[in-house]
Structure 1
Amino acid sequence: MKYIFIIYTSILFIFLPIHGFTQETGTPGKGEGILQFLKRFERTKPEHYTQFMELNKSKLDKNNGLRLGVKYTLPPMNREGNEPLFGEKLAKYTIESDELKGACFYLVSGHGGPDPGAIGVLQGHQLHEDEYAYDIMLRLARTLMSKGAKVHIIIQDAADGIRDDKFLATGDRETCMGDPIPLNQVQRLKQRCDKINTLFRKDKEAYRRAIFIHLDSRSESKQIDVFFYHYEGSAKGKHLANTLQDVFNKKYDKHQPNRGFSGTVNTRDLYVIEQTLPVAVFLELGNIQNSRDQQRFLLNDNRQALANWICEGLTQDFRHYSK
């Protein structure tokens, strides 16, 4: 391993290869506060300050000030990633932090290819489960990747990308990472489990989780909340499902305080969470037949909110196991 030292009058930078990125350090000038110090290194966003405090909390003085002669770790500059599956407009994304560095996710949207999954109807438009689950899954993938996570997108559609439309156009182009999706249900489920397990055996991250995203189909009058399922013998799966439920509970308390949240955590005999090697959770995001639940999927802001909340739960679970 090579170390490169670049010395200026009062600044020392050290660049070390850390998980494919560089970690930069510097020493403050006389009388320089944290904001001035960060500005000198072009770290001017609020998240840069937050990251700096977390990285250097043991090096600051009792007033959270900088000490002369101390070498401080700088938060990473925003880096760019590129994922064509997100669509032309959103393919490029900013890696805003390394908050999820060391985490690996296998994201699976339900059904796809020849199987549209559950179908709802609104204003003459068919609502296909696979299209809405796929859009939410892509949004989740992009959010996780912006926090430095490794993400495997198992079900893929090269044409769709992230869409803001209310009524998502339907199609059968989805593949399992390039392979045609079988019509037979058992073969279809086995295919995605085999793909996940092959990747799992190659990945080296200590924290690896599989997330399955679905929409339910019940009677039109049945409004339901998000349900979380885990494998009966998995303590870590149960912890993740409970963490996700807790996040959703708090979000509903904040945004719809008079409504309450009734989504539950349960075990369920599901092929995909039994047959995958990584810890897995299965999410049912609502009833595609119910007019109120439909608003959870039809509005692009709501689809993004679902992705953000799931990401928050995954982040909390990652922190728990990274202590």
Structure 2
Amino acid sequence: MNRIFIILLFLFSISGISVSAQSDKDTPRNGEGIHLFLKRNKRTGSGQYEQFLELNKGKFGRNNSLLLGVAYTLPPLSGKRNTEAQDKPAADKQDSKTKINKLFGNKYQEYTIKSNKLKGTCFYLSSGHGGPDPGAIGKVDGYELHEDEYAYDITLRLARTLLEEGATVHMIIQDALDGIRDDRYLSNSDRETCMGEVIPLNQVKRLQQRSDKINSLAKRTKEKYKRAVFIHVDSRSQKEQLDVFFYWAPKSSGGKKLANTMRTTFESHYDKHQPSRGFTGTVGERSLFVLDKTTPVGIYAELGNIQNSFDQRRFLDPNNRQALANWMCRGFITDYENWKKGK
């Protein structure tokens, strides 16, 4: 009897070990995307989507779709220390101001909080189009320039710059592979997601998705200064050269103040760097879906004409893309300072 009991106990132990070893893997159900798959497995914490992609490279279908019958490795449950987590202090540094955000790519993932100028602020950054929709398309030197790729790169640069000034930042549109890139011609893809969710092809559904995501985040945001930022590249006649211009939602006094602050900021930098040219960018009130449907004060930026050869220089040179991000960041700093003064 004792011998049988010991054998049973041994088999039970092996079974328990097997269950435990497999507890960090699971297979998707029919029709289940990454977002629902992680939600079912209680992995919805910050950075866990990016961890999941990293842990399962090469196991996805088109647009990072899950494949039936494939066992996917799950990131640690929330509360467990995860050294690959987004926005964590660098493992080899003790400086609490040094952070890592893997969305920025290997070269730029590490950043340092340089100031508290934007402490107490929260930004929701949404680059235009993405996923199945490339947006406007320009051509130069045999390359296709897709709006979503250049808008995303500038948005990433803006996110990093805002973080360096102490802001809280949410990237609404994300690409798990494309970080900040210093190439002139950015490779095109359709793998962008809305914070892990597949972007619909239908325009209204696509815009509603990112608006809902911003509103959901805004409800849980503790910061009182909240700004939704939508970054696009326009498409017009090849002969039409444009400067950056900004829109705000109808009757939004905060949006109007922000747009005018941005224009003044850009104007001052143009006077400094291109005094003979001047700045002709405009601001205006406009009813746009994402401005109308989101609850935080919003601003919609058009960064130039992707068809115009002069405007293309603004996008092709990575230094110019960074300058756009820097100038927008300075505009936000001024707007925040005015907001605190009650102006």
Q: TM-score range by the shorter chain?
A: 0.7 to 0.9
The answer to whether the 8 A contact 1:106-1:152 is kept is: yes
Task: Give 3-state SS (helix, strand or coil) of 1:89's partner.
Answer: helix
After TM superposition, list the pairs within 5 Å mapping 1:107-256 onto structure 2: 107-256=125-274
Q: CA deviation at 1:269?
A: 1.6
Q: CA deviation at 1:320?
A: 0.8
1:274 lines up with 2:301 in the alignment: no
1:284 to 302, 305, 322: 302
- The residue number in structure 2 matching 1:99 is 117
Q: CA deviation at 1:167?
A: 0.1
- Identity among equivalent pairs (%): 62
Q: CA deviation at 1:157?
A: 0.2
Q: CA deviation at 1:112?
A: 0.2
Distance in 2 (CA, whole Å) between partners of 1:311 and 1:243 is 11
Q: CA deviation at 1:286?
A: 0.1
Q: CA deviation at 1:315?
A: 0.6
TM-score normalized with structure 2 length: 0.71
Which stretches of structure 1, 4 residues or more, deviate above 3 A after TM superposition? none
Structure 1 residue runs without a partner (length 5+): 1-76
Q: CA 1:82/1:256 → structure 2, altered by over 3 Å: closer, same or farther?
A: same
AA at the equivalent of 1:249: E
Structure 2 residue runs without a partner (length 5+): 1-94
TM-score normalized with structure 1 length: 0.76
The answer to whether the 8 A contact 1:78-1:97 is kept is: no
After TM superposition, list the pairs within 5 Å mapping 1:18-37 onto structure 2: none
AA at the equivalent of 2:289: Y
Distance in 2 (CA, whole Å) between partners of 1:210 and 1:242 is 16
Q: CA deviation at 1:78?
A: 6.9
The answer to whether the 8 A contact 1:78-1:96 is kept is: no
CA RMSD in angstroms comes to 0.8
Q: CA deviation at 1:99?
A: 1.2
Q: CA deviation at 1:101?
A: 0.5
Q: How many matched pairs?
A: 247
Q: CA deviation at 1:268?
A: 1.1
User: Which has more helix, going by share of residues?
Assistant: 2
User: Which has more strand, going by share of residues?
Assistant: 1
- The residue number in structure 1 matching 2:61 is none
The answer to whether the 8 A contact 1:231-1:237 is kept is: yes
Deviations 1:238-277 (A, max 9, x none): 0000000000011111100010111111011200001000
